[in-house]
Amino acid sequence: MPRLEVQSFLDFAPHYFTYITGAVQQKRPTALAKILGVYRIGYKNSQNNTEKKLDLLVMENLFYGRKMAQVRITGQYATQQW
């Protein structure tokens, strides 16, 4: 995730988790995907002394196990066999 996306996530995360917690506790359906984890992965190359860090957001797959013929994405229809 780019730095701006990480900061955006940190800004909205408390509201998101409050909403999701309430939905789960009250057994209300929601169209929001559940965030399963947020991770920072880093490594250092000891040969050339370079470092790399990567932020990763893991979410549930809303389409897992469903046969989809058409999906509406940002106002357009995408036709593909999933």
Residue 73 has pLDDT above 80, yes or no: no
pLDDT tens, residue by residue, 19-69? 999 998 999 988 888 888 888 899 998 899 999 988 888 888 777 777 777
Q: Report the predicted TM-score, pTM, of the whole model to 2 decimal places.
A: 0.58
Distance in angstroms (rounded) separating the CA atoms of residues 82 and 79 = 9
**Quick one: tokens of 16?**
């998101």
- Give the residue ranges of DSSP H helices in 1-82: 3-25
Residue with the bigger pLDDT between 71 and 46: it is: 46
Q: What are the domain boundaries of the chain? A: 3-79
Whether 82 has a pLDDT exceeding 50, the answer reads no
